[in-house]
Amino acid sequence: MAGEVLQLRGVGVRREGATLLRDVTWTVNENERWVVVGPNGAGKTTLLQVAGALLHPTEGSVEILEEELGRTDVFELRPRIGVASSAVAEKVPTGETVLDLVLTGSYAILGRWQEEYESTDLARAIELLEALGCADLVKRRFSTLSEGERKRVQIARALMPDPELLLLDEPAAGLDLGGREDLVRRLGILADDPAAPTTVMVTHHVEEVPEGFTHALLLRKGQVVASGKVDEVFTPEHLTECFGVPLSIDRQNGRWYARAAY
């Protein structure tokens, strides 16, 4: 169906007797910007792996970019999806340069596999690194970067193939206050760009949700607590249920702030 980027119906994921996701039904339409929020262990990364065609669910059906998981060649599907997560970062070979890591994002692979790239690819890689404020890192080895620098490089890599779907798993985790605010601002600019891909970002903190994000899904213990338009989902009731502590939430100049409500 036109406009649907993700369609999950009754998705469950079980591993070694544990239920990681239970009965998740979720639709993401073209050009929406989603944030997935929930406590540690809620199943956010698992959900993103399903959305990225990296994990097949135990039950339910998944359509990604109008291809049904299980009936499509995931190796053709994966290059259409940009993924930035620490799970990818951990697999980067030692010695890999920032430039090579971003360039290989075009092929959804790790490790440089051919010596020559098109000069247009090279120009795009540098342009993306510039847009994320890290063009000066281009010749560095990825393994020598700080946490914040790594996050930005990973986002540049995820954007490299001009994906139709962009998945970001905790892009602001490990960043200092200035770095977080800078990244949130850059993600806000991306969210406002109509040419930018449909985006799903995972975070623990509503303070990290950039302006321009349109929808939210709250997860707790593998189940959806609420999902829909961000201002309808981000209520004290939903957040309290999601995190299991009494919470209040405010919005100021397009940004969200949550506090314990004791």
Ligand X SMILES: Nc1ncnc2c1ncn2[C@@H]1O[C@H](COP(=O)(O)OP(=O)(O)OP(=O)(O)O)[C@@H](O)[C@H]1O
**Contacts with ligand X, residue ranges (CB under 6 A):** 15-16, 18, 20, 38, 40-46, 204
Stretch that binds Mg ion, among 41-49, 75-83, 216-224, 234-242 (CB under 5 A): 41-49
Q: Tell me, what amino acid is at 172? A: A
Looking at the Cβ atoms of 1 and 18, the one nearer to ligand X is 18
Residue 180 interacts, among ligand X, Mg ion, none and using kind-specific CB cut-offs from 5 to 8 Å, with none
Based on the shown chain and the rule CB under 5 A, indicate whether residue 227 belongs to the binding site for Mg ion. no
- Total Cβ atoms within 10 A of residue 143: 13
Decide: helix, strand or coil at residue 109: coil
Residue 128 interacts, among Mg ion, ligand X, none and using kind-specific CB cut-offs from 5 to 8 Å, with none
User: Which of these, 253, 198, 197, 261, lies nearest to 235 by C-alpha position?
Assistant: 261
d(CA 202, CA 44): 7
CB of 261 to ligand X, least distance (A): 22
CB of 39 to Mg ion, least distance (A): 10
Contacts with Mg ion by CB under 5 A: the residue count is 2
Q: Is residue 216 within 8 Å of residue 34, measured between CB atoms? A: yes
Residue 252 interacts, among Mg ion, ligand X, none and using kind-specific CB cut-offs from 5 to 8 Å, with none
Decide: helix, strand or coil at residue 178: helix
Looking at the Cβ atoms of 124 and 215, the one nearer to ligand X is 215
Looking at the Cβ atoms of 45 and 199, the one nearer to ligand X is 45
d(CA 73, CA 187): 31
User: What angle, 0 to 180 degrees and rounded to 10, lies between the N-to-C axes of helices 147-159 and 119-131?
Assistant: 130
CB of 243 to ligand X, least distance (A): 11
Q: Is residue 169 within 8 Å of residue 86, measured between CB atoms? A: yes
Looking at the Cβ atoms of 69 and 138, the one nearer to ligand X is 69
Based on the shown chain and the rule CB under 5 A, indicate whether residue 45 belongs to the binding site for Mg ion. yes
Looking at the Cβ atoms of 80 and 204, the one nearer to ligand X is 204
Residue 237: exposure state from Cβ atoms within 10 A (0-12, 13-18, ≥19): exposed
Give residue number: closest CB to Mg ion: 45
Cα–Cα separations (whole angstroms), residue 101 to 93, 118, 170, 205, 231? 9, 15, 19, 28, 37
CB of 72 to ligand X, least distance (A): 23
Based on the shown chain and the rule CB under 5 A, indicate whether residue 104 belongs to the binding site for Mg ion. no
Residue 18 interacts, among ligand X, Mg ion, none and using kind-specific CB cut-offs from 5 to 8 Å, with ligand X
Please give the residue ranges that form the binding site for Mg ion (CB under 5 A).
44-45
